[in-house]
Amino acid sequence: MIRSQGKSFKWQGEYSGDLNCARTLNTELGVLSSFKPVIAEKQRDIKYLFLANVDPDIQNHLLSHMRRPRLIGLDSMNFWIKHKRPALLRLLKKVDIFVANDQEARDLSGETNLIKAAKKLSRLGPRMVLIKKGEHGVLFCSKDFTVSLPAYPTDKVIDPTGAGDTFAGAFMGYLAKAGRLDVAAIKKALAYGTVAASFNIEDFGAGKTSCFTLADLDKRLNKLREMVKF
Amino acid sequence: MIRSQGKSFKWQGEYSGDLNCARTLNTELGVLSSFKPVIAEKQRDIKYLFLANVDPDIQNHLLSHMRRPRLIGLDSMNFWIKHKRPALLRLLKKVDIFVANDQEARDLSGETNLIKAAKKLSRLGPRMVLIKKGEHGVLFCSKDFTVSLPAYPTDKVIDPTGAGDTFAGAFMGYLAKAGRLDVAAIKKALAYGTVAASFNIEDFGAGKTSCFTLADLDKRLNKLREMVKF
């Protein structure tokens, strides 16, 4: 059993056996319970915005200060799905991509089949839904296409905490660089997300993510590309 | 909740919610408890042999009558892992490919990480290990390479009973046709397995598998190939 804690508030959970699935033991909001972020003037023009997991009211406050973001990603977690569902549902209508893990997608949609879950979530607002499945890879659904990619295979799993954020960061980062949202760009962004996350899990905290290079990422990206080519 | 039964003996299980995971309610061996298959003379020269899931002693009996199979695949299930582990372990030393679902692989290896599980299983004898993960696709490990492919995405999941056998049949069938075991042939065989299984789950029993054509398979194969290309 591994206990871990992450995010700027205090989340405590455990992974027992299956490292794909964290069980929440306790969530303390701490300073974030009354946090009102102040957005600097020049940050209001950010084009690629990722609303990382905090209270949906804080995410909404932040979003309301942005001028014209080109792409808005949204993450959340079980705590908000349970305790702030109406606020989360309102926010979903304002974002382009909803990012969730498989359990969150099932909890929020009420569907067990993940493709059905993704489709149902996209009817709640976001035109794209990205479901992270840990060692089982990623599922992406939009109105126009569905993509499923396997995870980069590794048996060195030390701590999966933060893997989802790492995935989202690399995914959004690649899209910002590409400047396009077509299927080819989305697939490459998903692939960058999965290989970035594969580094994250190989050490505690940001032990690995703080020091890998773009060349490291590209090496794994090429291996992943080769692996799925048939 | 779906109850289903399959195989020539009587297995009763249920799928509740997550259709990836069947819970065994009861297994009755019936006529297979004392079955001694008689192998016709000309069948002894079969080159590509798949020992489908029955008592490992019956599988071993059958294997002992074959002359020189080029490739031997082995399937099993939780009942034999629990009740006939020594016989199963002996048999594993005589086969080339062990085919299991994720739970069986974990049960037999004692490892939760599936890549570790596959590596451990391959140390028990088979030079190749194929782990079927339902909607999450397939993982294949040999000494020389690891391949992970996503499942063909479908939200029409009626009954997954038999999907594993359908996968194995298409996988072995393609390898028999290809006559090679290099990485390209294995990947294509895995892809045929996954698309064949995707038809199986779309109806009860052999409702779909009894009538699809090679053209149907190839159509989904091409879609899968396109989906994972980035």
Instruction: Give the closest residue to B113 by CA, choosing from A227, A88, A205, A136.
Output: A136
Q: What is the pLDDT averaged over residues B49-61?
A: 95
Q: Where are the strands (E) in A61-126, listed by range?
A: 71-75, 97-101
Q: Which of B114, B188, B230 sits opposite A230 (nearest CB)?
A: B188
The answer to whether residue B15 sits within a structural domain is no
- The pLDDT value recorded for residue B19 is 59
**Chain B residues inside the 8 Å CB shell of A150:** 137, 148-150
A64-97 core/surface letters (b: 16 or more CB in 10 A; e: else): eebeebebbbbbbbbebbeebeebbeebbeebbb
Test mutation, A148, A217, A218, chain B, max B CBs within 10 A: A148
The answer to whether residue A177 sits within a structural domain is yes
The answer to whether residue A18 sits within a structural domain is no
The answer to whether residue B16 sits within a structural domain is no
Q: Which of A17, A136, A155 sits opposite B136 (nearest CB)?
A: A136
The answer to whether residue B12 sits within a structural domain is no
pTM score:
0.86
- The pLDDT value recorded for residue B42 is 92
Sheet holding B71-75, edge to edge: B48-51, B71-75, B97-101, B128-132, B138-142, B146-149
The answer to whether residue B8 sits within a structural domain is no
Question: What's the domain count of chain B?
Answer: 1
What size, in residues, is chain A?
Answer: 230
**CA distances from residue B180 to A230, B52, B131, B172, B194 in whole angstroms, order as listed:** 14, 22, 20, 11, 19
Lowest mean pLDDT among A62-76, A193-207, B23-37, B87-101: B23-37
> B211: distance to nearest CA of chain A, Å?
25
Domain containing B98: what range? 40-227
**Residue of chain B whose alpha carbon sits nearest to that of A140:** B153
**CA distances from residue A76 to A134, B42, B162 in whole angstroms, order as listed:** 16, 62, 37
- The pLDDT value recorded for residue B129 is 98
C-alpha B114/C-alpha B38 separation (Å) is: 37
The DSSP letter of residue B155 is: S
- The pLDDT value recorded for residue A205 is 82
For residue B140, give the CATH number of its domain. Answer: 3.40.1190.20
pLDDT in tens, B112-129: 999 999 999 999 999 999
A87, A95 Cβ separation under 8 angstroms? no
- Residue B121 φ/ψ, nearest 5 degrees: -65, -35
> Which amino acid, residue A49?
L
The answer to whether residue B71 sits within a structural domain is yes
CB neighbours of residue B211 within 10 Å: 10
Q: What is the pLDDT averaged over residues A66-80?
A: 95
> A229 or A157: whose pLDDT is higher?
A229
Q: What is the ipTM for the molecules in this complex?
A: 0.84
> A28 or A107: whose pLDDT is higher?
A107
Sorted by sequence, the CB contacts under 8 Å of residue A202 that are 6+ apart come out as A154, A156, A157, A158, A208
The answer to whether residue B19 sits within a structural domain is no
**Chain B residues inside the 8 Å CB shell of A149:** 150, 228, 230
- The pLDDT value recorded for residue A3 is 44
> B154: distance to nearest CA of chain A, Å?
7
> A98 or B10: whose pLDDT is higher?
A98
Question: Could you give the 3-state DSSP secondary structure of residue B18?
Answer: coil
> Which amino acid, residue B197?
A
> A36: distance to nearest CA of chain B, Å?
39
Crossing angle of helices A85-92 and A56-64, rounded to 10°: 30
Chain B contacts to A (CB-CB under 8 A): 17-19, 112-116, 119, 133, 135-137, 139, 146-151, 153-155, 157, 184, 187-188, 190-191, 225, 227-230
Mean predicted lDDT score pLDDT of chain B: 90
> A115 or A19: whose pLDDT is higher?
A115
